[in-house]
Structure 1
Amino acid sequence: MSSDNKEAPEMAADQLETRDEASPGRRWLHVLGLNRPELRAWAMYDWANSAFMCTIITAVFPIYYSEVACAGEPPHVASGWFAAVTTLGMVIVALISPVLGAYADHTSRKKPLLGVFLGLGLIATAAMYFIHTGDWILASVLFILANIGANASFVFYDALLPHIANEDEIDRVSTAGYALGYVGGGLLLALNLAWITKPEWFGLPGQDAPTEAGRTLRIRLAFVSVAVWWFLFSIPLFRRVPEPRVPGGERWAHLHPVRASFARLRETAGELSRCRQGFLMLLAFLIYNDGMGTIIRMATVYGNELGIDQNAMIASILVVQFVGIPCSFLFGSLAGVFGVKRTILLGLATYTVICIVGYWMKTSRDFLLLAGMVGVVQGGTQALSRSLFASLIPRSKSGEFFGFFAVFEKFAGIFGPAMFAAINFAFGSSRDAILGVIGFFVVGGLLLLMVDVEQGQRLAKEWDLRESTEPVAEPIPSA
């Protein structure tokens, strides 16, 4: 595909949007932010990877890790190990994300790199089929590798957003992606839950099977189904979303791509001070996303520790998926009325209430209530955070800035699970850690209040204008 063709979706965006608006049958797609093929293809990756986030990260694998892979260990020890391996995977992704983002911008290879880490995630997830009773080391290694693959792929996926969405539609497109993610993840989880709880419907052995392999087969097949689902529904992104050509690469042409990536990374780190509002958003996101990530990742392990019925927990996570579908779109609409920042703050206030409910949680009904509340705010808050950040950064630096976004996101996934691990090993319980999560939402919300959205968006536009009109600068000497 030529460079002209690659840029065509961005150049012709207004024309395509006008055509879609003129078609009555497609007006609803415009309202949802899915009125062009590349937007729908991009959002389908949320549909694809949410199967991993739902079944592996949140619902099924944490329980399997605790009950099967760590069989014989006290519940709080299994919870602690799960938190520890989660932390390790996030640290690795946080360290490599900025370099990967810079390399993707320099070489215009966002999609190929997304494909590489997608492949790593797929292989590690499918290999979970071979985890049996007591295989906690294999389970830990595969979970770390799958986390690296999935979360590194998000760096390039998120970095494509500002290249395919117009300024007035970026919030709707981002929330539409999360909503489709809820649909995709929810559908597969429903199927997984069906053959886990009613294996005879599918001709599978149940809990009364004579061998360990038979008793765990239906759950191990769920892991394989995630890999297949993730692969199939990722295909539209690679077929329909164009690889964006990022200007400014001529400055680094004399350097090897890897050295050029580090040079660009050093420059971008310095330029964060020029993008003050984007940097403030990153700091706020680092704090409050830590709280959200902790609740998402530790919910079922915490519930298992409290003795809540496993099938009830999985069913409650399914509730999150389907409650989240309309609520993600609702948050996108609220952002158009009240502003993105105010809508995110509403989500953070709701998460504070969630923490209080979680502290007092004792029964399956409590877990269901907690899950429903998370479903209302989770997708919308995360989607608007992504789109707000995308509006505060220059498009010419999207890969690098989203590399830093990924660093903050992954470090936000470190502190909460690390806190859980520390409290588990020190006190033998996770209950007190729930109230500690409230601090993340309070501090993150205060930082978010300091973000001047209008100023940040104006400076990002001026930055891109300079990039497109300035003459090519003299090459920077290699270090």
Structure 2
Amino acid sequence: MDRQTVRAWVMYDWANSAFATTMMAAVLPIFYSSVAASTLQNEQLATSYWGLTQSIAMLFVAVLTPILGAVADYSGYKIRFLRMFSYLGIVASLCFVFVGNGDYVLASFLFILGTIGFTGGNSFYDALLNDLVVPEKRDYISSKGYAFGYIGGGILLVINLLLIEKYQWFGLPDKTMGTYISFASVALWWYLFSLPLFRKVKDKKTGGSHTIGQYTAIGFTRIRDTFKRIRRYPELLKYLIAYWFFNDGISTIITMATIYGTEIGLGTGHLIGALVITQFVGIPFTLLFGKIAERLGSKRSLYISLSVYVLIVLLGYFMSETWHFYALAFIVGMVQGGSQSIARSIYSRLVPQDRPAEFFGFLTVSSKFSAIVGPFVFSVVGLMTGSSRLGILALAVFFIVGIAMLMKVNLQKGAAEAAAAEV
């Protein structure tokens, strides 16, 4: 295991997390509503368009990722595809400087491209974990990647918030100019810190020379085969079901937290402040969970983090004060990165070792579709009962079922099944 190469792999998480924090979570949603969609009739319409934009982006990702993952496995071009998707996200982020008042269609289009670049690229990035890191170190290195993502994304988010809220300090005329510079900074940050990985790691060509059409046909064929092939790995299938449940719970908390906080009267500053807390608390705790996994085992560390999420849901039900939201943000930061990194590491040991990109692509697409359920349950329960608190409480089911399914997974047997896969 080459340390410089692994360090370069970790730094990519530092690089692309700028898009996750600034574009997906904090700055762009506010800009979309206040600037890009300012000519719409009301804020509710802008919110609906923003939600539709995200749905379209995820649909493209869900369709494209497994196809390109299968092609990457066949051709061995993981770095080539990762670079292609990264540059797509980088250029899309930079082009937001051209979005003005009323340009919500352009903003939606650019966000769709950026999300495809960000999420699609992560499938190839995740698949490189198998190529670069020995199995016994994957828990820690995976956790380290998430931790560096928290650091990189968090640092740039703080810088960008200062550019926007304290624009006078930088000699800027207004917040809008600070926002434009923030968008450009995401592109620059993502590009510069991706270079070590692109320079250190080279593709290992595994297939013959084919045309784009032939690669596409191969990709579709392997996607079909993936659905059939999963049944050969019972432990992987059981883990996938567990993952769909608890990951849906995690993603729903991330998606609905801001809306829920707004409902109890929390201001924008507090919401963004809580997000910053979650980012930086996640740094040491993500690394800590990597060490806990090495000492106690992957499953036990994942049990711990998911059990804490059950507690988060219960506390969220009773939340009523601003400091409650900050406290929950702190607790989420303690387990969010750890649970995701350990879950990724476990999955890497259960997939066939000759098709990691294909199976990581399948994980991406299946988790995107399964993630629809959590927000739907949250909304339906809230509509039926007239209380979003009960919607929050309903999310406990996802974690409880996920833990119950995880208990049925035999990791040693699953790893043996993956190692015995036909090449």
Q: Establish whether TM, by shorter chain, passes 0.5.
A: yes
Write the distance in 2 (CA, Å) between the matches of 1:425 and 1:126. Answer: 39
From 181, 184, 187, the counterpart of 2:155: 187
* SS of corresponding position for 1:451: coil
| Deviation, structure 1 residue 142 | 2.4
Write the distance in 2 (CA, Å) between the matches of 1:61 and 1:251. Answer: 41
The RMSD of aligned alpha carbons is: 2.7
- On the 8 A contact 1:125/1:142 being kept in 2, the answer is yes
Write the distance in 1 (CA, Å) between the matches of 2:378 and 2:100. Answer: 26
1:53 aligns with 2:20: yes
| Deviation, structure 1 residue 65 | 3.1
What are the Cα deviations for residues 222-281 of structure 1, in whole angstroms up to 9, with x where unaligned? 1221111111111111111232455xx47999x922222222333332211112212222
Task: Specify the code of the residue in structure 1 equivalent to 2:416.
Answer: R
Could you say which residue in structure 1 is the equivalent of 2:348?
390
Task: Specify the code of the residue in structure 1 equivalent to 2:31.
Answer: Y
From 79, 96, 118, the counterpart of 2:64: 96
Length-normalised TM-score, structure 2: 0.91
- On the 8 A contact 1:348/1:441 being kept in 2, the answer is yes
Among all aligned residue pairs of Structure 1 and Structure 2, give the percentage whose two residues are the same amino acid.
41
1:263 aligns with 2:221: yes
Task: Specify the code of the residue in structure 1 equivalent to 2:200.
Answer: R
What are the Cα deviations for residues 381-427 of structure 1, in whole angstroms up to 9, with x where unaligned? 00001110001112211111111111123224433345567789999
* SS of corresponding position for 1:396: coil
Could you say which residue in structure 2 is the equivalent of 1:323?
281
Could you say which residue in structure 2 is the equivalent of 1:358?
316
1:286 aligns with 2:254: no
- On the 8 A contact 2:378/2:394 being kept in 1, the answer is no
From 25, 29, 52, the counterpart of 1:62: 29
- On the 8 A contact 1:44/1:234 being kept in 2, the answer is yes
Write the distance in 2 (CA, Å) between the matches of 1:67 and 1:41. Answer: 38
Deviates more, 1:325-334 or 1:411-420: 411-420
Write the distance in 1 (CA, Å) between the matches of 2:324 and 2:305. Answer: 20
Distance verdict in 2 for CA 1:91–1:234, change over 3 Å: same
- On the 8 A contact 2:18/2:156 being kept in 1, the answer is yes
Write the distance in 2 (CA, Å) between the matches of 1:193 and 1:100. Answer: 36
What are the Cα deviations for residues 337-379 of structure 1, in whole angstroms up to 9, with x where unaligned? 2211121122112112222333444443222112111110010
Distance verdict in 2 for CA 1:457–1:360, change over 3 Å: same
Task: Specify the code of the residue in structure 2 equivalent to 1:336.
Answer: E
From 390, 396, 402, the counterpart of 1:444: 402
- On the 8 A contact 1:124/1:142 being kept in 2, the answer is yes
Write the distance in 2 (CA, Å) between the matches of 1:73 and 1:412. Answer: 33
Task: Specify the code of the residue in structure 1 equivalent to 2:24.
Answer: I
Write the distance in 2 (CA, Å) between the matches of 1:137 and 1:421. Answer: 27
Write the distance in 2 (CA, Å) between the matches of 1:281 and 1:379. Answer: 19
Q: Which runs of 5+ in 1 are unaligned?
A: 1-12, 17-35, 206-213, 468-479
From 29, 41, 58, the counterpart of 2:8: 41
* SS of corresponding position for 1:285: helix
Distance verdict in 2 for CA 1:428–1:53, change over 3 Å: farther
Could you say which residue in structure 2 is the equivalent of 1:232?
192
- On the 8 A contact 1:178/1:328 being kept in 2, the answer is yes
| Deviation, structure 1 residue 78 | 4.8
Write the distance in 1 (CA, Å) between the matches of 2:267 and 2:34. Answer: 12
What are the Cα deviations for residues 172-225 of structure 1, in whole angstroms up to 9, with x where unaligned? 1100100110110111011112222211111123xxxxxxxx442212321221
- On the 8 A contact 2:147/2:287 being kept in 1, the answer is yes
Could you say which residue in structure 1 is the equivalent of 2:357?
399
Length-normalised TM-score, structure 1: 0.81
Q: How does 1:57-456 map to 2 (within 5 A)?
A: 57-71=24-38, 78-205=46-173, 214-246=174-206, 249=207, 256-418=214-376, 432-456=390-414
Distance verdict in 2 for CA 1:388–1:411, change over 3 Å: same
- On the 8 A contact 1:70/1:134 being kept in 2, the answer is yes
| Deviation, structure 1 residue 429 | 8.0
